[in-house]
Chains A and B, each alone.
Chain A
Amino acid sequence: MWTVRVQIEDFDVGAEDERLQGASPEVGAVVSFVGTVRGGEVRSMTLEHYPGMTEKSLEALVEEARRRWSLIAVTVIHRVGRLMPGERIVFVGVASRHRADAFAACEFLIDRLKTEAPFWKKEETEGVARWVEARESDEKRARRW
């Protein structure tokens, strides 16, 4: 019901949505967010994390979401390692009785994950690798919560 996974392998969005929907007969809404690697200049993206703290911080965010909204199930999956443009990076899925809780909790989870969970992206463009800088706009979105 309250699932947090950090993994190298891809995930199946349809299967994850269905699992959330099937969590309880009480489920009336499932909202899920999928973040992907943008193409363009970027040839690949490598995600590093802080094993141990990553899982703890994601679990703490799920706990906070459960306190703030009426939720039935939550799944957060974040991939690590080297990813190519178009590949999925992150899944945040929320099941609740009514849509308002699911929409709000899903947005809260991804906004706060981006500024609190210890992941770092390194982008490779034509022959050059550089660490991605944190964006003030992400900080701003996270502070709304």
Chain B
Amino acid sequence: MAVRVLYFAALRDALPLAEESVALPAGVETMAALRAWLGARGEAWAPLVTWKTLRCARNQALCAWDEPVRDGDEVAFFPPVTGG
């Protein structure tokens, strides 16, 4: 299963990449599990785990952390939005 992952704003600045395509291991089936797995890939990815206020989107719509992740999804992680 592969998904495209995007990072924005301060989170993107704190991570090694702005976007990536990842093949998911078995068992990573929700946004929360994906976040934990991505964030466990070493020190450089720790902000994904340690930042407490992150938000997420699946296929360009805000979603909850228990949202399922499916093959081909575009998912995104970012800090709370500050537009307007």
Measured CB to CB, the residues of A under 8 A from B are 35, 47-50, 52-53, 56-57, 60, 78, 89-90, 110, 113-122, 131-134, 138
> Interface residues of B toward A: which range?
10 to 19
Q: Do A114 and B83 have beta carbons less than 8 Å apart? A: yes
A-B contact pairs, 16 of them (CB 8 A): A50-B8, A50-B60, A50-B76, A52-B60, A90-B84, A114-B81, A114-B82, A114-B84, A118-B81, A119-B83, A120-B83, A121-B82, A131-B13, A131-B79, A134-B80, A134-B82
Interface centre among A53, A90, A114 (most CB of B within 10 A): A53
B3 at the interface (CB under 8 A from A): no
Q: Do B82 and A53 have beta carbons less than 8 Å apart? A: no
CA distance A17 to B12 in the complex (A): 37
B62 at the interface (CB under 8 A from A): yes
Contact with A along B41-54 (1 / 0, CB 8 A): 00000000000010
Q: Do B84 and A119 have beta carbons less than 8 Å apart? A: yes
B23 at the interface (CB under 8 A from A): no
CA distance A134 to B6 in the complex (A): 20
CA distance A90 to B81 in the complex (A): 15
B9 at the interface (CB under 8 A from A): yes
Q: Do A35 and B78 have beta carbons less than 8 Å apart? A: no
Interface residues of B in 1-43 (CB under 8 A from A): 6, 8-10, 13
- Beyond A53-B57, A118-B8, A118-B57, whether A90 also contacts B83 by CB under 8 A is yes
Q: Do B9 and A116 have beta carbons less than 8 Å apart? A: no
Q: Do B84 and A131 have beta carbons less than 8 Å apart? A: no
- Beyond A50-B8, A56-B60, whether A120 also contacts B84 by CB under 8 A is no
Nearest-neighbor residue (CB-CB) of A129 within chain B: B13
Nearest-neighbor residue (CB-CB) of A131 within chain B: B10
User: Inside 8 A of A134's CB, which chain B residues have their CB?
Assistant: 53, 79-82
User: Inside 8 A of B53's CB, which chain A residues have their CB?
Assistant: 134
CA distance A48 to B60 in the complex (A): 15
Question: Contact check: which of B61, B82, B84 meets A56 at CB < 8 Å?
Answer: B61
